[in-house]
């Protein structure tokens, strides 16, 4: 890991660039023509009518078995057809969601010198950051972030979390506990829908000894939003992600075939997406889907991404039950730490990371 101790170039805070009043963005942020967020000719004109599925999780507790069965089916179809869906009535306090988002907005509004105390390095990514990947000279994304670890307990260090606003550490801890519980619930649903034992995926991830982390994203206003991206196209390397989006400003786009669909956030919902490790364990029955973030010139945007991942040291392989003669194992056995190292060297590269691991049969 020694090659990952420092960033290859001095870090520039995108928020500082935005606040400086520039009218054109630096060359480093201008994407290649084919990577810019201009609408592709394949984007349907009825884009306003397209959105990822929204699922009411309270229906899983319904007394009516047909309602429960229908909800499981909705989640199954969303995992297979989209890799993304929104959940409402998920059991997490709406007040906690609002307060946690607000505390991060307040953090990003602090003077730059107060945030610099938490400046991160590529060794762990923990803290206040402005780039992903350590390749020199690459195009950069129009965003800053704060990354922190929840689990395992051995890597959780609340002293590395922001001290200000004063409620931040307490809120972030409570938020992590609540979202961990929601992920456990969803893992059972995914397992059942795949025809596996209810606890199969949770056990494969390490039972209670899993890995969880949070990235608070800040997308500053951008004077030339059509030339850059807040986050480059990628699939999430871990297990599952719960995103609390900025309900006032859309930014997340999900790949659907050969065009991008802008997700319209539903109030008090989480956006759930499948990561590379569930793709691997399900032998590609469920697929992680490429997504990216666009920015705009009128409003900044804050979102919170909670990553629920396997224990880094457990070898993962496709579930035996999902491997047949007609559908052999598509991926080699690999730990999540090995996969993460592979990713960190390369930065965000669409879906090429997980695809490059496929066994050649």
User: Which CATH number fits the domain that encloses residue 176?
Assistant: 2.60.120.330
Give the structural domain span for 304. 43-357
- Is 14 inside any structural domain? no
C-alpha–C-alpha distance, residues 268 and 245, integer Å: 9
Q: Is residue 252 part of a domain?
A: yes
List the one residue out of 117, 114, 112, 84 whose CA is nearest residue 278: 84
Task: State the Cα–Cα distance between residues 73 and 189, nearest whole angstrom.
Answer: 10
The counts of H helices and E strands in the chain are: 9, 14
Mean pLDDT for the chain overall: 91
Whether the per-residue pLDDT at 354 is higher than 80: the answer is no
Phi-psi region of 347 (alpha: psi -120 to 50; beta: other; left: phi over 0): left
Q: Would residue 3 count as lying in a domain?
A: no
Q: Residues 53-59: what's their mean pLDDT?
A: 98
> What is the band of 258 on the pLDDT scale with cuts at 50, 70, 90?
confident
Pairing of β 84-88 and β 211-219: unpaired
What 3-state DSSP class applies to 159? helix
Q: With respect to residue 17, please indicate whether it lies within any of the assigned structural domains.
A: no
22 assigned to some structural domain: no
Note the pLDDT of residue 25. Answer: 98
Confirm whether 37 is domain-assigned. Answer: no
- How would residue 42 be classed by pLDDT, with cut points 50, 70 and 90? very low
Count how many domains the chain has: 1
Q: What is the mean pLDDT of residues 90-112?
A: 98
Say what the pTM is.
0.93
Model pLDDT, residue 2? 43
Name the residue among 292, 243, 285 with its Cα closest to residue 142: 292
> Is 45's pLDDT higher than 70?
no
Share of the chain above pLDDT 70, in %: 90
Query: What does the alpha-carbon distance between residue 235 and residue 275 come to, in Å, rounded to a whole number?
Result: 7
Residue 29 domain-assigned (yes or no)? no
pLDDT, average across residues 314-332: 94
Estimate to the nearest angstrom the gap between the alpha carbon of 220 and the chain centroid: 18
């Amino acid at each position: 890991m020694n090659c990952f101790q420092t960033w290859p170039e001095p870090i520039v805070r995108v928020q500082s660039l935005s606040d400086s009043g520039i009218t054109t963005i630096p060359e480093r942020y201008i994407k290649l023509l084919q990577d810019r967020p201009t609408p592709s000719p394949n984007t349907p004109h009825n884009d306003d009518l397209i959105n990822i599925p929204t699922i009411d999780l309270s229906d899983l507790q319904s007394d009516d078995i047909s309602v429960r069965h229908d909800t499981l089916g909705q989640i199954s179809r969303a995992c297979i057809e989209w890799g993304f869906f929104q959940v409402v009535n998920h059991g997490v306090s709406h007040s906690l969601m609002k307060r946690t988002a607000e505390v991060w907005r307040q953090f990003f509004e602090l003077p730059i010198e107060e945030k610099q105390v938490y400046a991160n390095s590529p060794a762990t990514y923990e803290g206040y950051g402005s780039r992903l990947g350590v390749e020199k000279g690459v195009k950069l994304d129009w965003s800053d972030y704060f990354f922190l670890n929840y689990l395992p307990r051995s890597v959780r260090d609340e002293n590395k979390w922001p001290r200000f606003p004063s409620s931040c550490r307490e809120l972030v801890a409570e938020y992590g506990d609540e979202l961990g519980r929601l992920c456990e619930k969803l893992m059972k649903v995914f397992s059942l829908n795949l025809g596996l034992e209810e606890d199969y995926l949770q056990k494969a991830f390490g039972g209670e000894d899993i890995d969880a982390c949070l990235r608070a994203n800040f997308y500053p206003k951008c004077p030339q939003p059509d030339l850059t991206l807040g986050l480059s196209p990628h699939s999430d390397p871990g297990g599952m992600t719960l995103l609390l989006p900025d309900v006032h400003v859309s930014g997340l786009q999900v790949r659907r075939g050969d065009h991008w669909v802008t997700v319209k956030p539903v109030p008090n919902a989480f956006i759930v997406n499948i990561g590379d490790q569930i793709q691997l364990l399900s032998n590609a029955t469920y697929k992680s889907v490429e997504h990216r973030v666009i920015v705009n010139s009128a409003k900044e945007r804050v979102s919170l991404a909670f990553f629920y991942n396997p224990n880094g040291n457990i070898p993962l392989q496709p579930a035996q039950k999902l491997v047949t003669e007609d559908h052999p194992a598509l991926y080699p056995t690999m730990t999540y730490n090995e996969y993460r190292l592979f990713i960190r060297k390369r930065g965000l590269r669409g879906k090429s990371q997980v695809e490059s691991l496929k066994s050649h049969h």
